[in-house]
Amino acid sequence: MYAALRLLTISGVFALSVWGCSTARPEGPFDPGTVPPAPDYSKLDNWAAHPDKADAADRTPCPEAIDWQKTAQADVFFLYPTSYYGRGTGSDTWNVAVGNLPVNTRTDSASILFQATIFNGAGRVFAPRYRQAHLQAFFTKDKNSAEKALAVAYRDVLAAFEYYLKNWNNDRPFVIVGHSQGSLHAMNLIRDRIENTPLREKLIAAYLVGWPVKRDFFRSIKPCETPMETGCFCSWRTFERRFGLRHAIETDVVCTNPLTWNTREGEYAPRSENKGAILRSFCTMYPNISDAEVHKGVLLCSKPRFPGSFLFLRKNYHIGDLNLYYYDVRLNVQARVEAFLKDF
């Protein structure tokens, strides 16, 4: 199930470039006895975002971006990226407890606020807390421990999705969204629980960002090739243009251009087509900040231009996969939901 770990080529560089030596490693090999208790998804505290509670996913960066969750006819199941890393978490196990306050604070102030909010204009946002695997699961030589830790996290994702279906879905169509570790789990969720089942007819689209998705990973679900296509998936990993041109080699990995919404190799979309990014300040939009071009399984992006960007030296833009194209993704998911609902 987790053979995708072996796809971590240049995509795996992101954590080292983002967190560097600050990452505290789990102590010893995976030990089932140290795994925190499984979450109870009937408790809203075990959801980072939920339409029945006030949370960071309810915010919008400007008055024009309206939170439509209360009247939305669709749902969004959002799986956040790894926020369990570094010191100061009070934990050194392979999986973190869903009640870990430092990790939850990091999750809510980063991915829920800056990523999950992209989707509140299209559907009710459900984001389960899960016993995520430590960041080192993606870099350790102990692949056995890594796969076991990721399996624990995935069990939670399955349990949360099943609880959502039974108690809150009410036959509504949905969007599946993930970033990084969240995308790994979302991919498996779609293949194991949605594809080739009756739920397939309710899948509006999937945004599987920040993780390599091979073209043959799904049996029937195809990459999106138009901005309003439904029942398909989008995926991209963002790198500085020159770096990507030198290192990208994955021709069997899907990459979607989030400015053109197709996977055509070499079709360049200039900065002028970028609707706006949300970066360090949630309430500051940067239009025309970045271009986009698909190249050998990755998304090429010229260095973004924003105040202080001369200090931005990173070549892997993984941390900004969604935020560099915040408004483009927001408008696109709205368009796909509207197109789907016309025939639902």
Q: Which among 25, 11, 5 has a CA at the least distance from the CA of 135?
A: 25
What residues have CB less than 8 Å from 36, skipping those under 6 apart? 93, 95, 96, 97, 98, 131
Question: pTM, whole model, 2 decimals?
Answer: 0.94
pLDDT tens per residue across span 306-316? 888 877 889 99
Give me the domain span that covers residue 109: 3-343
Position 17 pLDDT exceeds 70: no
pLDDT at residue 194 greater than cutoff 90: yes
Domains of the chain: total: 1
Q: Distance (Å, rounded) from C-alpha 247 to C-alpha 244? A: 5
Q: What is the pLDDT of residues 252-285, one digit of tens each?
A: 999 999 999 999 999 999 999 999 999 989 999 9
User: Can you tell me the distance from the alpha carbon of 121 to that of 18, in angstroms, rounded to the nearest whole number?
Assistant: 30
CA torsion angle 17 23 25 31 (round to 10) = -90
User: Which pLDDT band, with edges at 50, 70 and 90, does 115 fall under?
Assistant: very high
The span from the CA of 159 to the CA of 172, in Å, is 19
Q: Which two tokens stand for residue 304?
A: 């973004």
Contact in structure between 2 and 147 (CB atoms under 8 Å) = yes
Per-residue 3-state assignment (H helix, E strand, C coil) for 28-60: CCCCHHHCCCCCCCCCHHHEEECCCCCCHHHCC
Tell me the per-residue pLDDT of 197-227, one tens digit each, with 9 for 90 and over.
Answer: 999 999 999 999 999 999 999 999 999 999 9
Location of structure tokens 């006030």: 54
**3-state SS, residue 161:** helix
pLDDT, residue 23, reads 55
